[in-house]
Structure 1
Amino acid sequence: MIIEQVSVFLENKSGRLNEVTKILGDAGINISAFTIADTSDFGILRLIVSDPYKAFEVLKQNDFSVQTTEVVLAKTPNEPASLSKLLNILQQEEVFIEYMYAFSMNDEGAVTVIRPTRVKYCVEMLQKHKTELLGADELYEL
C-alpha cells in the first residue's frame, strides 16, 4: 500500500553515507531498500526503513536535512517482462511516475518502489489491475 520513505539530503563528501547508516544502525533501524541520486554538489538518499518516523527524528537530531514522502510498493514476480507489465498498467491508467527503484527477493519476487504524483490514485489503479501491493508490515517481514 502506501508507506513512508525517508529522504536525506547529503553533501557530496566522503563518509556522509556512512554517517547516516551508522546513526540508523545505532538507533536499531533496519534499511530494507535505498537509492541515491546525485549531482555534483549533493545527493538525495532515499530509504525504506523499519521505522521511518524514528529515522526522521534521529537524523534531524544529527543535523541532517531529512523529509518523509509517501511511496507505493508493488510486488511482482522476479521474471522477464514483469516490470514491463507493471509499467504498462501505470501508463494505461495515466499514472505519472516521479521516480522509482526496485529490489529483488530472488524466488520470492521483486518489489518496485514507486513515487507517483498522485499516490492514492496509483494505489487504486494497481488494485484495479490486481497488482500485489505491500504495506510496511509486510515489507519488514521479508
Structure 2
Amino acid sequence: MFFSVSNAYEKKRKELNKFATLSTPLTSEETIHCSKQLDHFINHYQNRKISKLNIHGSLEGYTLTLQIEGDLDMVTSEVLSSYIETNKHKWKSVQELNIDLGKLNFFDTSGIHSLILLILEVRDRNISIEKICTTKTSFEVLNLMGIPNALKEINCGNFIAI
C-alpha cells in the first residue's frame, strides 16, 4: 500500500481551482474548508526541522499503547520499522493496540508507509487496533490522503482527533 503526499497536495490544489473556476464564492464554507486543509498540509512541510523520532511502548494487561512522537519521515521511518522487528516477539499476549500520534510533528509518505506496515503486522497477529489518536491537523492531512477510510475498509483502527 503506498500513499503519495504530492498526489494528495495536487488533488487538493485541483479541488480549490475547481471552486475558483465555478461561480462558487471564495468565501463559501466549502472553499474555506478546502483552503484550510491545504494550509495545514503546507504548514507540515514548512515547519520541518531535523528529523527525530521516539517510540514509547507501554503494556497494560493485554493492551499495548505505542506513543510515536517527533517526525515520521524518510529519515526516521526505519526507526519505526526497526522497533517493530525488535519488539514484535514480545507481543504474544497483546490483544489490543492503541497508537498515539498526538505528539507527531511531521510525517511524509515514507513515514505513513512504515505506520501502515505496523498496522498490518499487528493485524496479521490478530491484535485488534482499538484507536489511533492524532491531532486535528494531522487527521485532516491523513484524511486528505485517504488513510482513515482505507484503514476502516480493512477494519484497522478508529481515528480519534484530539
TM-score tier by shorter-chain length is under 0.3
Bigger CA radius of gyration: 2
Q: Which of 1 and 2 has higher RCO (CA within 8 Å, sep 6+)? A: 1
Q: TM-score w.r.t. structure 2 length? A: 0.24
Q: TM-score w.r.t. structure 1 length? A: 0.26
More strand by share: 1
